[in-house]
Structure 1
């Protein structure tokens, strides 16, 4: 099911049908994200006319292209390569005409890959802000609100640089609710949020920012471009892959194997450990009482949870979810689960996620591991690596958020 979810979101399968006819003028391609290089390759294969462009992707995620330049940069904490790519991208779209077309290939991860800061803010400042946001427990929407108000390229600013050309956004969603402004912090769409919203988020999570960064957030220069802004060109946005599409593909695999499949939602948010407890309770009720679903069945869900890192571990929302889920299930027979990020990277680790089964806790105790201590330390990665239950995919070249599947192979004795 996990493989099917990833395969369904591959740009080579979905991008071509969203393309328009070539314009009278030039076609310029820009973009950023973990899937952007694969999107560029799919575009080159399908586009009938000339084109040129520049796309930034994560280290290790490049795909060979002949007409679109692929630049690799750091994620989730930005680096100089992303900074240089951001500047070059703005230069590439300057001086266009109404007859030109800009195709923007945007996917998750683009926020870190386009880190060009506002005047007076340095890359080091952006790196500090990113690290603080990642540890804070803020939702992806909240993090992106802060990021785009400290950016010289996000929040519609890259789109404004394209004016008066036409802009076509081709997006792969990695955010709950498929909000375009939250994919890569919305470089090519207008932003309805404000500096006041960003400052409220900073206060809500007690994020410590340097004085000059706070001063920038309080200035007019930090305000993003709003809907209806005359500086924005003609913009059309198309979704080429979404979490819902991936879950539908996974659901079909489950049905083909003879299971009833229930999709609990594609936009589930909250602390990963809390989501683990809730879904564990639902799975136990189904196994023991046949309510609200009867086994054998599959419970699928997507979205993006958060981890507030308070311990010494490495975080990772999918492994934290699974560790909490295993504790909630207490070794219940006949229940197995997988959780993984569809881009192959859970948090800051080159590990997609992990799997659990009825024997997970028992094997951990025999190995001298304490699951409760691992959860308290936010050390899901260390826990599952020690058990040999980590799931490693390598770069998947797409990104449609987290994937979670709980499989109930049979009802418990209490239910039978």
Structure 2
């Protein structure tokens, strides 16, 4: 077929290409090599590779493919996210609620870094999801306690920073404790960020960085959201036994942290795709937070202003944003924060004929299902009503996945082997003479 005879690209296809570009920009094979230490830095010492997160297995493989010397190690990733490695052991565990294999793996990680010396280098590969994949309870707590707290936090509406504050103070490995265990070895941590603001202590709850927050801060989060936690958890926090490693601790003197992939980088990659297609991209922010349905309404309002008045920017354009919204679960539907955002935004768009949208989690999992997100079209409301669906009822029931699956508009990627948080794109077509 002559390229000139090909049909124009659809809005849905363009949005999906932007999403795919965002994911591709954060692939470990691309991000890891520039940050690997050189052989002189290792000297006569050993290189031990450890890590946790949804991208950690792919990060480990990238290390092996770009490192010629000896190494050994262990990383923990989510079920279904393992990739083959020759020298670094890959263990799979549960996310977002931790399980026993994750606890066993966390114990093994701590054991692996015992007895090192100052000539050794620990390369720590950390990405989003590590909080649940390294569930080593603080003394006096059990895995069941950690699971109960995780479930309660996920339903509470707390921000990721608030949730990780609580997790750090109930852990024997997070909040800088893993780096402290490596002392006196040097520690280089490579981070793929999945949190608003890219704060290292919030990525996998900061196992290799100092934590300035306290047990009192964790208690404040629990009280703020009325979270019901076991009595043993309250005892650990109220007694101060859960205090983490603080800034200035001498055991962290030999540590270095590098951010190798971030939500902003992913949005910029998507913007390149949009520009190449003749659509002007506008990045609204890489760290938008708030209740998903509220953020959806606000961004829909901005999109309607663009479409109707050409303000604050003219169409055709795409409004890009990242970050991590929250969902206060009140229904019993199947959903995640991205489809919650998309459904709320779509309802607020009132079927506008020139506005399309896509939202997805860059790790390929929105909520607890193997569905990344969804796609919204101008006729989504009409198609839903024709199927007997009531969009507002679906939103009230937190049933975003059920809604978009019924329309055939779920976005499914499979395991992406990376994680740079949420991706949201609202595409506004240029007005026509009929408009």
TM-score by length of 2: 0.94
- For residue 328 of structure 1, the aligned residue among 324, 348, 367 is 348
Q: Distance in 2 between matches of 1:199 and 1:223?
A: 12
In structure 1, what is the equivalent of residue 215 of structure 2? 195
Question: Alpha carbons of 1:210 and 1:413: their partners in 2 closer, same or farther (altered >3 Å)?
Answer: farther
In structure 2, what is the equivalent of residue 19 of structure 1? 36
- For residue 46 of structure 1, the aligned residue among 66, 69, 75 is 66
Q: How far off its partner does 1:412 sit?
A: 6.6
Q: How far off its partner does 1:219 sit?
A: 2.1
Do the aligned partners of 1:162 and 1:233 also contact (CA within 8 Å) in 2? no
Query: Can you list the C-alpha shifts for 1:315-344, whole angstroms capped at 9, x where unaligned?
Result: 300000010011110000111110000000
Q: How far off its partner does 1:240 sit?
A: 1.2
Q: Distance in 1 between matches of 2:201 and 2:373?
A: 27
Q: How far off its partner does 1:314 sit?
A: 2.7
Listed as ranges, the gaps of 5+ residues in structure 2 are 1-17
In structure 2, what is the equivalent of residue 6 of structure 1? 23
In structure 2, what is the equivalent of residue 357 of structure 1? 377
SS of 2:49's equivalent? Answer: strand
Counterparts of 1:249-398 in structure 2, within 5 Å, are 249-398=269-418
Q: Distance in 2 between matches of 1:341 and 1:48?
A: 34
CA RMSD of aligned residues (A): 1.0
Do the aligned partners of 1:158 and 1:187 also contact (CA within 8 Å) in 2? yes
The reply on whether 1:35 has 2:55 as its aligned counterpart is yes
SS of 2:287's equivalent? Answer: coil
Q: Distance in 2 between matches of 1:145 and 1:412?
A: 50
In structure 2, what is the equivalent of residue 109 of structure 1? 129
Aligned pair count? 415
Query: Can you list the C-alpha shifts for 1:168-215, whole angstroms capped at 9, x where unaligned?
Result: 000000000000000000001100111010000000000011111100
Q: How far off its partner does 1:349 sit?
A: 1.2
In structure 2, what is the equivalent of residue 120 of structure 1? 140
- For residue 95 of structure 2, the aligned residue among 63, 66, 75 is 75
In structure 1, what is the equivalent of residue 4 of structure 2? none
Q: Which runs of 4+ in 1 moved over 4 A?
A: none
Listed as ranges, the gaps of 5+ residues in structure 1 are none
Query: Can you list the C-alpha shifts for 1:38-62, whole angstroms capped at 9, x where unaligned?
Result: 0000001111211100000000000
In structure 1, what is the equivalent of residue 75 of structure 2? 55
Query: Can you list the C-alpha shifts for 1:243-278, whole angstroms capped at 9, x where unaligned?
Result: 011111000000000011100000000011011000
Q: Distance in 2 between matches of 1:226 and 1:341?
A: 32
The reply on whether 1:144 has 2:169 as its aligned counterpart is no
In structure 2, what is the equivalent of residue 403 of structure 1? 423
Q: Distance in 2 between matches of 1:413 and 1:184?
A: 51
Do the aligned partners of 2:351 and 2:378 also contact (CA within 8 Å) in 1? yes
Do the aligned partners of 1:160 and 1:233 also contact (CA within 8 Å) in 2? no
TM-score by length of 1: 0.98
Query: Can you list the C-alpha shifts for 1:327-377, whole angstroms capped at 9, x where unaligned?
Result: 110000111110000000001111000000100000000100000111111
Do the aligned partners of 2:335 and 2:402 also contact (CA within 8 Å) in 1? no
Do the aligned partners of 1:165 and 1:233 also contact (CA within 8 Å) in 2? no
The reply on whether 1:93 has 2:110 as its aligned counterpart is no
Do the aligned partners of 1:157 and 1:224 also contact (CA within 8 Å) in 2? yes
- For residue 239 of structure 1, the aligned residue among 235, 255, 259 is 259
SS of 2:251's equivalent? Answer: coil
Q: Distance in 2 between matches of 1:93 and 1:271?
A: 40
Q: Distance in 2 between matches of 1:375 and 1:211?
A: 34
The reply on whether 1:173 has 2:207 as its aligned counterpart is no
